Amino acid sequence: MISLAGRDILHAWGKFIFTGIGLGLLIGVTLTMAGVYRGMVDDGKVLLDNSGADLWVVQKDTLGPYAESSSIPDDLWRSIRTMPGVAQAANVTYLTMQVGKGDADVRAMVVGITAGEPGVPGWPPHLVAGRQITRGHYEAVADRATGVRLGDVLSIRRNRYVVVGLAHRMVSSSGDPMVFIPLKDAQEAQFLKDNDAILMQRRRTGANPAFNRPGVPDLLDAVIDSQTGNSYVNAVLVRIRPGFTPQEVAEPIRRWKRLTVYDRAQMEEILIGKLIATSARQIGMFLVILALVSAAIVAFIIYTLTMDKIREIAVLKLIGTRNRTIASMIIQQSLVLGVIGFVVGKITATFAAPLFPKYVLLVPIDSVVGFFAVLAICVLSSLIAIRMALAVDPAEAIG
Amino acid sequence: MGSRGIRIDNLSKRFGAGDTAVLALKDVNMQVAPGEVVGLIGPSGSGKSTLLKCLGAVIDPTSGRMTLDDTVIYDDGWKVRDLRALRRDRIGFVFQAPYLIPFLDATDNVALLPMLAGVPNEEARRRAGELLAALDVQHRALAMPAQLSGGEQQRVAIARGLVNRPPVILADEPTAPLDSQRAMAVIRILNDMARRFETAIIVVTHDEKIIPTFRRIYHIRDGVTHEEAGEGRSPG
Ligand SMILES: Nc1ncnc2c1ncn2[C@@H]1O[C@H](COP(=O)(O)OP(=O)(O)OP(=O)(O)O)[C@@H](O)[C@H]1O
Ligand SMILES: [Mg+2]
């Protein structure tokens, strides 16, 4: 027996290739969509990985520092460092903002890191060019995705920073590239008030008789100093000593310092379960719609291809072809269309993924699931065509 | 019974029921012996196609009896179980339009029937090749239907009708799309095949040119047939 489906496809190959390509682009979009979700999850994971922390100490009862804002005094890290099981503790600030780059600006997450050396939590673990920050002010290490080069100058709020090092895939949970600057500068950038506001506050404070006492001349200056100085950070990153479990170390900090402490698993849960949950549902919705549209297209194409062959099907039935043979011909064609579509889609997604501004991560399991989903969709959508083909009356072949 | 060929007795076919019922065939009797080519003629709507469909086991008659060689196919509402296999193995069809499968070449259009019956591809193609040669289209054996002329298509379709050596061939206006010379050639082939393979052939036609070639003709009008001797002229 010859393959009727195969012969028909060879005969009408143009039709199959073109519809296959059309379907393939749709499948490519679907795979890319899944890749966008995977990329978001991965962004969250590399954010946690790159922070180099085992524990995140944040303001009590907040989901900080990535999912909610958190501020804690910048001197807490000293006492945290002395807690049992703590190897390193470092202040860190995070602020997502527009960073000036020449005439333009890029959206970036500005990370304030403490003075120290590579390996301190919060520091970029490895650079692809240049060096780490060595001075206490006005130096920056930027992710390549910001588009800057070594020696470029970035402006953050009122200050300018020379790019001394470049990092790779250092991104925030929303995929914005990171710019590392010294902690003091970052605190200023985050909490600094503009000059007018400072003057206004000074005037207000000065007008307050409680602070402006004629007998105590230094009081006003001290109060003003404490108001303008910025002594907060967003979190303290903690690395624990070998031999300690995160729980063992976290519990005393929680209890004694009245702070909230998250370990790696909890942080992942916050990032993936809460921060990107809505986006994930959004993408899920898109995937459902794309699957439905693909199904409708396959069904429509297979239906029309079968419609075009009604007369041949009547003849095939008249000369004694089994229903099973006819049904399998239609299913096979549908599957071939699906396979062409999948191959085209996979190629499209692979080539398109790097072009996206945010990270698109194509994982093999998604392709495998996608492949079987496409086949399932093809089989299901050929059912309508099969029903119609089986209803064809062989008598139609005779006048 | 002992009668060979195809035979129908008091065959009736009613479409629909109640007020809108159409009695398309009324107690039709017909017998065609192996090797015989008979004509079936009648005005439009007289029941020719309906009769052909009943003979071809495509639609079931409402009542009456039909036998093919020694097999009873219909008997007053009873029918054989596998009509599909019966059509495949024992009835050949040739249509007005050749209705070849557009995605198969001439050989495979013919070879498909034995293949469907489980004959290996090579053997099926060999049989197809023989018939195409007998019908003088072997030089077009690998052409696709769209590349064949109307007459060539019709000959391939006839080869398809004959390939399983069915005892009966039903031809519905096989010469309608052909000029008189080609029409005569087709009739000649059918006569030839009938003789060579002992086939009973029934040809439905409106074609004035070929009517004189039949030895026996069934006239049908309003679902009633009557038989008449034809001129039996040689198709040249
Ligand atoms: N499926 C059907 N349902 C109802 N009536 C039908 C059906 N098929 C045929 N008829 C009726 O049966 C009668 C005979 O029809 P048939 O098709 O056999 O005519 P015909 O002789 O082949 O005509 P033509 O030369 O125009 O092809 C007609 O009155 C037709 O309307
Ligand atoms: Mg008719």
- Secondary structure letter of residue A241 according to DSSP: P
Crossing angle (nearest 10°) for helices B180-197 and B150-162: 10
Pocket test for ligand 1, best of B41, B46, B219 (most atoms within 8 A of CB): B46
Higher pLDDT, B17 or A201: B17
> Is residue B159 within 8 Å of B197, Cβ to Cβ?
no
Half-sphere exposure at residue A32, Cβ-oriented, CA atoms within 13 angstroms: 20
| Same domain, yes or no: A38 and A92 | no
* Number of domains within chain A: 2
Q: State the helix-helix crossing angle for A13-51 and A4-11, rounded to 10 degrees.
A: 90
Q: What are phi and psi of A354, to 5 degrees?
A: -70, -15
DSSP A164-185: EEEESS-B-TTSPBEEEEEHHH
User: Could you list which residues have their CB under 5 Å from ion ligand 2?
Assistant: A 399; B 49
Q: What is the pLDDT of residue B59?
A: 92
Task: Look up the ipTM and state it.
Answer: 0.84
In a domain, A219, yes or no: no
Please name the residues in contact with A138: beta carbons below 8 A apart, sequence gap of 6 or more.
A159, A160, A161, A162, A182, A185
A271 Cβ contact partners less than 8 Å away, ≥ 6 residues apart: A44, A45, A47, A48, A66, A67, A173
d(CA B152, CA B175): 12
Cα A147 from chain centre: 19
Mean pLDDT within B162-178: 86
d(CA B199, CA B214): 15
Pairing of β B71-75 and β A235-240: unpaired
| Lining residues, ligand 1, CB within 6 Å | A 399; B 15-16, 22, 24, 42, 44-50
> 3-state class of B228 per DSSP?
strand
* Alpha carbon distance A308, A325 (integer Å): 18
Q: How many residues in chain A?
A: 399
Give the mean model confidence (pLDDT) for residues A187-201: 77
Q: Are strands A232-233 and A139-143 parallel, antiparallel or unpaired?
A: unpaired
Q: Classify domain B6-229 at the CATH superfamily level.
A: P-loop containing nucleotide triphosphate hydrolases (3.40.50.300)
Residue A240 lies in a domain: yes
Closest partner residue to A311 (CB to CB) among B56, B99, B108 is: B99
CA distance B109 to chain A (A): 10
- Decide: A277 and A173 in contact? Cβ < 8 Å: no
Burial A192-217 (b: 16+ CB within 10 A, else e): beeeeeeeeeeeeeeeeeebeeeeee
Q: Is A31 in contact with A369 (CB distance < 8 Å)?
A: no
Domain that residue A355 falls in: 2-44+278-397
The residue count for chain B: 236
Give the residue numbers in A contacting B (CB under 8 Å), as ranges: 1-2, 4, 7-8, 10-12, 311-312, 315-322, 325, 394-395, 397-399
Q: Give the one of A8, A11, A395 whose C-beta lies nearest to B53's C-beta.
A: A395
| A51 located within any domain | no
Specify the pLDDT at position B232. Answer: 82
Cα nearest neighbour of A320 on chain B: B88
Tokens 């072809």 -> residue: A321
Domain range annotation of chain B = 6-229
CA quadruple A215, A218, A221, A223: dihedral sign: negative
Are residue A330 and residue A241 in the same domain, yes or no?
no
pLDDT over 90 percentage in chain B: 52
Which residue shows structure tokens 């290996």?
B120
pLDDT band at A188 (very low <50, low <70, confident <90, very high): confident
Note whether A240 and A312 are same-domain residues. Answer: no
Residue A65: asked if its preceding bond is cis (omega within 30°), the reply is yes
Q: Give me the pLDDT at residue A228, please.
A: 63
Cβ atoms of residues B71 and B4 within 8 Å: no
- Is the pLDDT at B67 greater than 60, yes or no? yes
Whole-number Å distance between alpha carbons of A46 and A49: 5
Phi/psi of residue B166, nearest 5 degrees: -70, 145
Q: How far is CA A263 from CA A39, A80, A270, A380, in A?
A: 22, 15, 11, 46
Q: Judge whether B213 and B233 are in contact, CB under 8 Å.
A: yes
Q: Determine how many CB atoms are found less than 10 A away from the CB of residue B2.
A: 5
Sequential DSSP letters for A68-130:
S---EETTHHHHHHTSTTEEEEEEEEEEEEEEEETTEEEEEEEEEE-SS-BTBTTS-S-EEEE
The DSSP bridge pattern shows strands A178-182 and A55-58 to be unpaired
Whether residue B56 and residue A316 make contact (CB cut-off 8 A), yes or no, is no
Mean of pLDDT values over B9-13:
94
- CA-CA distance, A246 to B150, in Å (whole number)? 85
**Which two structure tokens, joined as six digits, stand for A331?**
């299913």
Tens-place pLDDT, residues A226-239:
766 668 899 999 99
Assess contact for A307 and A388: CB atoms under 8 A.
Answer: yes
pLDDT digits (tens, 9 = 90+) for A81-132: 999 999 999 999 999 999 998 889 999 999 999 877 777 899 998 899 999 9
Q: Which residue has tokens 């041949």?
A: A312
Mean pLDDT, residues A2-31 taken together: 91
Q: What mean pLDDT do residues B25-53 have?
A: 93
B191-225, pLDDT tens digit by residue? 988 998 899 999 998 888 888 999 999 999 998 98
pLDDT attached to residue A236? 94
For residue A341, name the pLDDT band (cuts at 50, 70, 90): very high
For residue B1, name the pLDDT band (cuts at 50, 70, 90): very low
Measure the CA–CA gap between A265 and A254, rounded to whole angstroms. 17
pLDDT of amino acid B99: 82
Residue A333 within any structural domain of the chain: yes
pLDDT higher than threshold 70 for residue B2: no
Do A299 and A171 lie in a common domain? Answer: no
Decide the pairing of beta strands A104-113 and A178-182: parallel
Q: Which ligand is nearest to the CA of B40?
A: 1
Q: Work out which ligand 1 atom sits closest to the CA atom of B220.
A: 21
**Dihedral, A118, A124, A127, A131 alpha carbons, nearest 10:** -50
Q: What is the value of pTM for the model shown?
A: 0.79
Structure tokens at A283: 């993408």
| Of A154, A132, A131, A122, residue with least CA distance to A53 | A122
Are A249 and A291 contained in the same domain?
A: no
Parallel, antiparallel or unpaired: strands A139-143 and A178-182: antiparallel
Q: Where are the beta strands (DSSP E) in chain B?
A: 6-15, 22-32, 37-41, 63-68, 71-75, 78-79, 91-94, 168-172, 200-204, 216-221, 224-229
Identity of the residue in A1, A11, A325 whose CB atom sits nearest the CB atom of B102: A11
Q: Which of B103, B119, B122, B205 to mutate to test the interface with A (most CBs of A within 10 A)?
A: B103
